[in-house]
Amino acid sequence: MSRSRKLHRLSNPDANERRAQRMLFRHLRDDTNANRGRMARRVRELQLLLEMDPIEFEQLIARLMESMGMKVELTARSKDGGVDVRGIDSDPFRGGNVIVQVKRYRDTVTPSVVRDLFGTLQHDRAATKAVLVTTSKFGPSSHQFVSGKPITLINGSELVGLLKHHGFHEMFAPAYASAADDAAGGGSGDSAPAIDVAAEPARLLLHWTGEEEYDIAALVCKGNRALSDDHLVFYNNASTPDGSVRLVTGYDDANACLMVDFDALPAEADRLVVIAAADTENHPSATMAGFAGPALILEAGADQDAAVVHLADGAESNIAMRLGRFDRSEAGDWDFTPALAGYPGGLRQAVVAYGLEVTDEEAVAAGQ
């Protein structure tokens, strides 16, 4: 019996409930169709930046800075010292000498890159501030590190917004044309160039309503103990060492997505725990109260119905929430149980509960 159907059996004890769950899935899909074009266009916009030649990308950032009124100089690549562009802002209030580093990345920029740029800034006698620009994003520990320092972090979405605001709309024309074709029925949307998405046996999608942002995390365990630090998949560690569990960005209309190859999980692993956590780095007072109408959807294959589990809403008293777990049976099948649990201490408390030690930096990354 397939994992998808077995999950249907667990979540749908009878035919009527099964039909109700399928209706829920279709409702979720229909409800997000209005945002599908926007999400697909966002993916395409970032993909256009990712496909640029590295030198062209640096030149684009230099042109953006010039459009903002700065005097700009591109550094020699052999002598850049980690600096790609230098700019002088003559504004009497926010002006200064700016050093800029650009990272045309798909994955989250690591905190070490941010720390290295700060070191460059400290040793640059002329510079008064630094800017790190990326096509991807930064984790909470990076934002925590730059707090109070003359460093600005600009992620991919913010970069697209700046480019549009300063007149660079034409470079995104292919993204608009593709989105228009999809909206007119010229495409299904599946042809959109996906970031960090590969063909894996299962996609574990998480939907919720509202504007609040939440992170999804997964723990590969033996019983109630995580196999290792590397088997915690979250915003600062996007994949297990073997790639069997990967955090995905920009996937379709899901709020969050994990790619899970159940057959490739380590032989000693018999449990996969799924956790949602509030984004306390960007929203310090955030709790799970805004985690409304959550649904967990397992897409196990194109020829199988998606399995849907409608979960309970989050509570204001918690900062993280265990959504459920997959357990491997003696026969090798994986069964899902919606085992809900709240963690007032956030993702850090959840991680510690599964036997992992949290360093100070990890505690900051977890919003604690």
Domain encompassing residue 284:
3-46+198-365
**Residue 25 pLDDT more than 50?**
no
226: enclosing H helix or E strand: strand 225-226
Sorting pLDDT into bands at 50, 70 and 90, what band is 41? low
pLDDT of residue 191: 37
- Last residue of a domain, which of 94, 121, 154? 154
Which alpha helices (DSSP H) does the chain contain, by range? 3-11, 15-50, 54-67, 111-123, 140-146, 156-165, 173-183, 346-353, 360-365
**CATH code assigned at 81:** 3.40.1350.10
Q: Is the pLDDT of residue 253 over 70?
A: no
Q: Which two tokens stand for residue 335?
A: 């069964």
Q: What is the pLDDT of residues 212-247, one digit of tens each?
A: 788 899 999 999 999 998 899 988 888 898 888 988
Phi/psi for 45 (5° steps) reads -60, -45
State the distance between the two ends of the chain, measured CA to CA, in whole angstroms: 42
36 and 73 fall within a common domain: no
Q: Is the pLDDT of residue 190 over 70?
A: no
- Which of 36-40, 167-171, 204-208, 319-323 is the least confident region? 36-40
Report, as an integer, the average pLDDT of 60-72: 90
Q: What percent of the chain has pLDDT over 70?
A: 72
- Total tally of structural domains belonging to the chain: 2
Same domain, 129 and 15: no
**For residue 136, what pLDDT is reported?**
84
> Average pLDDT of 145-171?
86
**What CATH number does residue 276 fall under?**
2.60.60.30
212 in the same domain as 87: no
pTM to 2 decimal places: 0.48
**Span 157-186, average pLDDT:** 70
Domain presence at residue 20: yes
Same domain, 20 and 79: no
**Would you state the pLDDT for residue 306?**
65
Read off the pLDDT of residues 125-143 as tens digits, 9 standing for 90 and up. Answer: 889 999 999 988 888 888 8
Q: What is the predicted pLDDT for the residue at 217?
A: 92
Among 204-208, 248-252, 287-291, 345-349, the least confident range:
248-252
pLDDT at 363: 43
If asked whether residues 205 and 350 sit together in one domain, one would say: yes
pLDDT digits (tens, 9 = 90+) for 95-123: 789 999 999 887 788 899 999 999 999 99
Give the integer Cα–Cα distance in Å for 250 and 238: 13
Confidence class for position 144, pLDDT limits 50, 70, 90:
confident
Question: Are 42 and 58 within one domain?
Answer: no
Question: Last residue of a domain, which of 86, 120, 154?
Answer: 154
Res. 339: pLDDT tops 60: yes
Mean pLDDT, rounded, for 278-297 = 84
Same domain, 208 and 323: yes
139 secondary structure, DSSP code: -
Burial of 75 (0-12, 13-18, 19+ CB in 10 A): middle
